[in-house]
Structure 1
Amino acid sequence: MKTVLLLSTYPIASPRHGGQVRVANIAKTFGENGWSVTHLAVYEPEGYPPSSLGANDVSFPAGSPFRKYKGTYVPLINDLLSGEFAASEQGGFADILKKLPPVIDVIHVEQPWLWPLVLKIRQMPQHANACLIYGSQNIEAPLKQEILDSYAIKGAEPVIADIEALERKAALEADIAVAVTQADYDILQAWGRRNHCLPPMESRLGRRSRSCSPAGKSVCRSLRGFSMLPAPTRLISRASMSASAVHWRAYRRIANWWWSAVCVSTLRQRCVTVAGDN
């Protein structure tokens, strides 16, 4: 049985907000397809009660020196700061190390925040060949800019620059990058992802889409025998399902597709960008 290490900055034992629901669905999809799933969250304890935590979750304490950005307290950026904390021997890495499975075939990280931890784990000889999946829920830098602006946080330009640099790094270094909209996919491509593929899938309006680079087409051909994505059909009725249900049903389909990509990662034809309907 293959093992996937699934990383996020929030627990998923009792999923409530959108990010938790998304990661819980990813974990479920991997499990349903025969994978052993270890989920590990580096979380803010002030935001999640003990009853919502999983066995492998690691706290990013409010009093940690890693809660400072370059020596200064900046509000609303603990997600960015969590990566340095998680990857540091003086931060949470010792606790994280105790919770890692002995064998890791795939490391899937949601959002770019824990990318420093991903690279730290991949440096370990026993995990050097793990396939890296970057799940891009959003393009984070402009969203963070909007949040900081709405709270009138001044002098945030270095923070936004660091977030964009981290996003680009994750998108370019991952073996498989996953976007949830065509617009996000286009941005990842503009950043320099050379091998990319948008698998055929029908949107909520019933339109099919596919776009591939030459290298992406080669990977798609290698995946055909493994693909679990059902033939495009009309996915939902807007009148009968809520917007959140629409999102996760559509996301589940693309999750099945990139699970197939992981199955054949040993072909070493990696560095794929996958985009799914949002």
Structure 2
Amino acid sequence: MKIAAFGHYPIHRPLHGGQRRVAAIAAEARRAGHAFRYVPVYSTRGYPDGSPDERLTAVPEPLLDRLHDLRRREDLHLAQLIEGHPLARHLLDDLRRYAPDVVQFEQPWLYPLFARALASDPVLSRARIVYSAHNVESALIDPCWQATARALEGELVARADLVIAVSAADAAIFDEWRGAGRARTLVAPNGCWPPAPGEDPAPLAGPYALVAGSAHPPNATGYWTSFGEIPGFLPPGSKLAVAGGMTHLITADDRFRRYERMNAEFVAPLGVVEESCLAALLHHARAICLPITEGGGTNLKTAEALMWRKPVVAMRPALRGFEEAEAMEGVYVADTPEEFRNLLRDVMTGVRRATRRAEEVARYGWHARLSPLIASYGSSLQ
């Protein structure tokens, strides 16, 4: 089966959760024998490291000032901005030449570029439409844009031959939008790749707890709620390692700067790290922290933490879509910041441990998590 997928970021070097999910879908679809072609339409200011092929469909430089105008929202207004531009015509012409069996939208933002052609073009109207949702986007967007986003997302949900959600809660919302008599939303939860064997040295000296996340603002909210302005509750000699794009959100915050010298004693800000470094951080961490307090969908970092079989200390919202994991040994779930800090201190002092087996956590690997979607390419979309 020939599948053409569209998204608003490159996946050549996946860093944040959305990129990782799309890269995993592409890998699993190809592994199953499908021809999977992913086309990103994106801003090179936000994603400067796309591959040469991916940069062919990046938003042209002359349009970037308009795309990043504060009166617009980059994802929501992306299709509107490039409609009528030669890039839009190129995307449609290239899609016709490819003549896909399935056109898949990773998140809803690019759908308006193709809606008319998918309805009336002699070649493209034969394609089945898949909406691969990462969240209920219109529930998370700024209130001033919610109505516009809801209309766009709702149109795609209603029209798609198949809707994929990351959680049962999201699926229930989409099913309500689709109404009776339509194919039920398929749940293909987030996951991660199994830990790769390696013996890289520890990136930090001494014991540390790891928190990693993108520059998504809720990651910073969860950090401040869970750890406070200074993670001074950690045992002497241990640190909190902060990795990923969220690092800058933390260190640039006045709450961090107010106690900069004290935070230097307890916090190791690492920034965005390469995959090999992240794997070493996970391997040598004494605890993996999930200070998630808000947001929608499910979190890839939760699957990653479970797969590495280290003690996990999480705020309860981090287990959205992973509720069964709370029964696993070594998974410690808090309902309050105070409980979170006490659990983390217990783990760092060795009072609490983890002994999860590889076979227990195999269900959180991408191969298992995406199997409903991959199976649907060969059944419900034929």
For residues 44 and 304 of structure 2, the distance between their equivalents in structure 1, rounded to whole angstroms, comes to 37
Counterpart residue number, 2:379 = 264
Contact in 2 for aligned 1:29/1:255 (Cα 8 Å): yes
For residues 362 and 135 of structure 2, the distance between their equivalents in structure 1, rounded to whole angstroms, comes to 14
State yes or no: 1:47 paired with 2:33.
Answer: no
For residues 45 and 203 of structure 1, the distance between their equivalents in structure 2, rounded to whole angstroms, comes to 26
Q: CA deviation at 1:59?
A: 1.9
Q: CA deviation at 1:254?
A: 4.2
Q: CA deviation at 1:110?
A: 0.6
State yes or no: 1:96 paired with 2:96.
Answer: no
State yes or no: 1:133 paired with 2:133.
Answer: no
- Structure 1 residues 131-190: Cα deviation after superposition (integer angstroms, max 9, x where no partner): 111011011123122xxxxxxxxxx63x22100111111111100001111111111122
**Secondary structure of the residue that 2:76 maps to in structure 1?**
helix
Counterpart residue number, 1:116 = 112
Superposed, 1:203-222 pairs within 5 Å as none
Rg larger in structure = 2
For residues 6 and 239 of structure 1, the distance between their equivalents in structure 2, rounded to whole angstroms, comes to 28
State yes or no: 1:84 paired with 2:152.
Answer: no
For residues 92 and 31 of structure 1, the distance between their equivalents in structure 2, rounded to whole angstroms, comes to 27
Query: Which structure is higher in RCO with an 8 Å CA cutoff and minimum separation 6?
Result: 1
TM-score by length of 1: 0.67
Give the partner amino acid of 1:170: L
Counterpart residue number, 2:4 = 5
- Structure 1 residues 3-33: Cα deviation after superposition (integer angstroms, max 9, x where no partner): 1101100011111111111100011111011
Contact in 2 for aligned 1:10/1:43 (Cα 8 Å): yes
For residues 372 and 44 of structure 2, the distance between their equivalents in structure 1, rounded to whole angstroms, comes to 34
Contact in 1 for aligned 2:105/2:111 (Cα 8 Å): yes
Contact in 2 for aligned 1:137/1:179 (Cα 8 Å): yes
For residues 84 and 15 of structure 1, the distance between their equivalents in structure 2, rounded to whole angstroms, comes to 26
Contact in 2 for aligned 1:179/1:185 (Cα 8 Å): yes
- Structure 1 residues 195-214: Cα deviation after superposition (integer angstroms, max 9, x where no partner): 3446799999xxxxxxxxxx
Q: For residues 250 and 173 of structure 1, do their structure 2 counterparts lie closer, same or farther at Cα, with a shift above 3 Å needed? A: farther
Give the partner amino acid of 1:253: A
Q: For residues 202 and 44 of structure 1, do their structure 2 counterparts lie closer, same or farther at Cα, with a shift above 3 Å needed? A: closer
For residues 190 and 49 of structure 2, the distance between their equivalents in structure 1, rounded to whole angstroms, comes to 38
Counterpart residue number, 1:164 = 150
Contact in 2 for aligned 1:171/1:188 (Cα 8 Å): yes
After the TM superposition, list the runs of 4 or more consecutive aligned residues in structure 1 that deviate by more than 6 angstroms.
198-204
For residues 36 and 203 of structure 1, the distance between their equivalents in structure 2, rounded to whole angstroms, comes to 22
State yes or no: 1:175 paired with 2:172.
Answer: no
Structure 2 stretches lacking a partner, 5+ long: 192-302, 313-317, 319-360
**Secondary structure of the residue that 2:375 maps to in structure 1?**
helix
For residues 135 and 178 of structure 2, the distance between their equivalents in structure 1, rounded to whole angstroms, comes to 17
**Secondary structure of the residue that 2:306 maps to in structure 1?**
coil
Q: For residues 53 and 162 of structure 1, do their structure 2 counterparts lie closer, same or farther at Cα, with a shift above 3 Å needed? A: farther
Aligned residue pairs: how many? 220
- Structure 1 residues 98-149: Cα deviation after superposition (integer angstroms, max 9, x where no partner): 543432111111111011123244132111110111011011123122xxxx
For residues 153 and 122 of structure 2, the distance between their equivalents in structure 1, rounded to whole angstroms, comes to 25
State yes or no: 1:106 paired with 2:102.
Answer: yes
State yes or no: 1:59 paired with 2:58.
Answer: yes
**Secondary structure of the residue that 1:238 maps to in structure 2?**
helix
Q: For residues 19 and 166 of structure 1, do their structure 2 counterparts lie closer, same or farther at Cα, with a shift above 3 Å needed? A: same
Counterpart residue number, 2:71 = 74
For residues 14 and 202 of structure 1, the distance between their equivalents in structure 2, rounded to whole angstroms, comes to 21
Once superposed, what is the RMSD of the aligned Cα atoms?
3.6
- Structure 1 residues 196-252: Cα deviation after superposition (integer angstroms, max 9, x where no partner): 446799999xxxxxxxxxxxxxxxxxxxxxxxxxxxxxx9993734889x8994554
Q: For residues 256 and 44 of structure 1, do their structure 2 counterparts lie closer, same or farther at Cα, with a shift above 3 Å needed? A: same
**Secondary structure of the residue that 1:43 maps to in structure 2?**
coil
